[in-house]
Structure 1
């Protein structure tokens, strides 16, 4: 029986309970928390160094007004990264392959950056819709184009994360299926595809990290324009 390859991206349920709720809660349970001792263990120290380096790199280009978003952006980065990495384990579900979830992350945060810009500096925020030095006949067209590009930003955020993770999971499933099918009949080819599968898995781990970073980085760039 031929299975649908996209069945792996359906939100599973058990006894009528959507398992996406458990998948969203699990990363916070796995993140190690600091102890009350003077010196933490190596894992917590490495985690703290990673969070500090990422937050410093993310907030360096921002004005001091944007530093209030440090906790939100850093937590979002760790959360999306944990979901992406846990989705690579066998018999697991990746919530970030759902466009609805990614849009739920992207739209409110993007809208918050726009509202902050309109509240604090409305002239500069509206000035982004019209580049300086634009010829007069092109002003209406450019305003329409820039407005459309502004409203496409959250859609691009959600679709980018969904498409990259979905494509990687589909490739892994296709190559793993080919490996099991070719193993009894073409052992040499199956070994080659198994090596390719291992390399693709490493690539998907890198993609999971990079996409979480890109998602939060673009949000910080949108924030930079409005603070």
Structure 2
């Protein structure tokens, strides 16, 4: 029977009940919760230091009015990172390979940055649609192009995250299948394939971390333009 490599991206169902909600809430259950003590353990101390450094680097170029988004950006980064990393474990499901979930995260957050810009500085926000010094004949064309580029931002956010994770998971499954098939036929080639699979898995761990960071970084850049 031929295997369908896209079955791994189907939403898991148990007794007819979709388990997407369980996959989304699992990262929060695994994260250690802070305590009221002055001195925490090493894991909580390292976690707090990493979050503070990430937030500092992310919000450094943003206007102080945009620093209210610090908690949201940090939570979103940890959430996406946990989902991406947990999806690399065997017998798990990666919710961030679903375009619907990624668009559900990208569209409201992008729209919030646009609404903030239109409310606080409408002239400056609308000025992005037409660069200064544009010749009069090019004004309608540039306005259309800039409007399309503005509305394509959330699509690019969601598709980028989905495509990178989907391609990586497919490649891992293809190489793993090839290693199992080649093992009884050509053990040496199967061993080399297994080494390649290990290196690809390490690359996918890096991709999972980078894509979560890029998603939040692009949102912070959109916010920077509107505050």
TM norm structure 2: 0.99
In structure 2, how many angstroms separate the alpha carbons of the residues matched to 1:12 and 1:46? 33
The reply to whether residue 81 of structure 1 matches residue 81 of structure 2 is yes
In structure 2, how many angstroms separate the alpha carbons of the residues matched to 1:127 and 1:76? 30
The reply to whether residue 140 of structure 1 matches residue 165 of structure 2 is no
List aligned pairs for 1:53-68, cutoff 5 A.
53-68=53-68
The reply to whether residue 130 of structure 1 matches residue 125 of structure 2 is no
**Superposition RMSD in Å:** 0.6
Structure 1, unpaired ranges of 5+: none
- Write out the 4+ residue segments of structure 1 that deviate beyond 2 Å after TM superposition: 35-38
In structure 1, how many angstroms separate the alpha carbons of the residues matched to 2:133 and 2:155? 29
List aligned pairs for 1:141-156, cutoff 5 A.
141-156=141-156
Q: Which residue of 2 aligns with 1:52?
A: 52
Q: Which residue of 2 aligns with 1:174?
A: 174
1:93 counterpart SS class: coil
TM norm structure 1: 0.99
Aligned length: 227
Q: Which residue of 1 aligns with 2:118?
A: 118
Shift of 1:133: 1.2
Cα deviations by residue, 1:73-126 (Å, 9 ceiling, x for unpaired): 110000000000000000000000000000000000000000000000000000
In structure 2, how many angstroms separate the alpha carbons of the residues matched to 1:99 and 1:79? 16
Shift of 1:41: 1.1
Structure 2, unpaired ranges of 5+: none
In structure 2, how many angstroms separate the alpha carbons of the residues matched to 1:115 and 1:107? 12
